Amino acid sequence: MAKKILIVEDEQDILQLVRMYLEKEGYRTCTATSGLAGLKQTKTEHPDLVILDLMLAEMDGLEVCKRIRADPKTAIIPIIMLTAKAEESDTIIGLELGADDYVTKPFSPKALVARVKALFRRLERAKEEPARFVYGKLVVDLERHEVIADGREVPLTAKEFGLLEQLLRNPGRVLTRDVLLNAVWGYDYYGTTRTVDVHVRRLKQKVPLLNDAIVSVKSLGYKLKEHDHPT
Ligand code: CA
């Protein structure tokens, strides 16, 4: 089925233009014109991606982004933010809050569609489950459960390995502690999100080259920097 994209934008002409271009490319769309309505729709419409304007009535885009990421049910939905040039610092905050990409206004709808496609491609690639990840001088073999850093094998516990695997599968994306807990420990685990912090710290101790690569994202969780695009 065609992917569904939620567009949250309070300027009607931009909203309709973006919608038209996305539908022309075969995407399904749904729309909201306020932050609050947009947040509600991420829960009810189950979009595959959210295009989120920064300046919105009721609740601004940054707050919407933060709440989408904080809710385990919506935490992994990819988000592209629409920002104005003057709001560059907001853009940076947006990326810290877990937006996957941003497009600066005024933009051409074609350029936005290209970014949407690129993001979907990036996510598809990550889902293809390669048996082996290469991240700089780190090689992780999923089948053999083997981690080679700087040419030397590093023994990891199952949980440390699981964490590393989740991060490698989602380079450049913020993974909240809840998402990591569910993925590595399982939904029936009753530990606290502090568990994740402890294991990330141990993982960094064992594999020092991850020290700069795994970044902590404010109160949310962790992100593995994309290797080709160091930020
Ligand atoms: Ca706006």
69 in Cβ contact with 176 (< 8 Å)? yes
Confidence of residue 129 (pLDDT cuts 50, 70, 90): low
Longest dimension (CA), the chain: 57
Confidence of residue 87 (pLDDT cuts 50, 70, 90): low
CA 37 to CA 40: how far, in whole Å?
Answer: 5
How much distance in Å is there from the Cα of 205 to the middle of ligand 1? Answer: 44
Whole-angstrom distance between the N-terminal and C-terminal Cα of the chain?
34
Q: Which two tokens stand for residue 155?
A: 């023994």
How much distance in Å is there from the Cα of 174 to the middle of ligand 1? Answer: 24
How much distance in Å is there from the Cα of 199 to the middle of ligand 1? Answer: 40
Task: Give the mean pLDDT of 146-154.
Answer: 92
pLDDT higher than 90, residue 57: no
Q: Which two tokens stand for residue 98?
A: 């877990």
pLDDT higher than 80, residue 89: no
pLDDT higher than 80, residue 230: no
60 in Cβ contact with 78 (< 8 Å)? no
How much distance in Å is there from the Cα of 28 to the middle of ligand 1? Answer: 22
Report the chain's mean pLDDT, rounded to a whole number. Answer: 89
How much distance in Å is there from the Cα of 60 to the middle of ligand 1? Answer: 9
pLDDT at 228: 63
How much distance in Å is there from the Cα of 136 to the middle of ligand 1? Answer: 40
pLDDT higher than 90, residue 88: no
Task: Give the mean pLDDT of 211-223.
Answer: 90
How much distance in Å is there from the Cα of 39 to the middle of ligand 1? Answer: 15
CA 221 to CA 141: how far, in whole Å?
Answer: 25
> Around Cβ 17, how many Cβ atoms within 10 Å?
15
pLDDT at 85: 67
pLDDT at 217: 87
pLDDT higher than 90, residue 229: no
Residues flanking ion ligand 1, Cβ below 5 Å = 10, 53, 55
Higher local confidence (pLDDT), 167 or 87: 167
Task: Give the mean pLDDT of 38-62.
Answer: 95
How much distance in Å is there from the Cα of 69 to the middle of ligand 1? Answer: 21
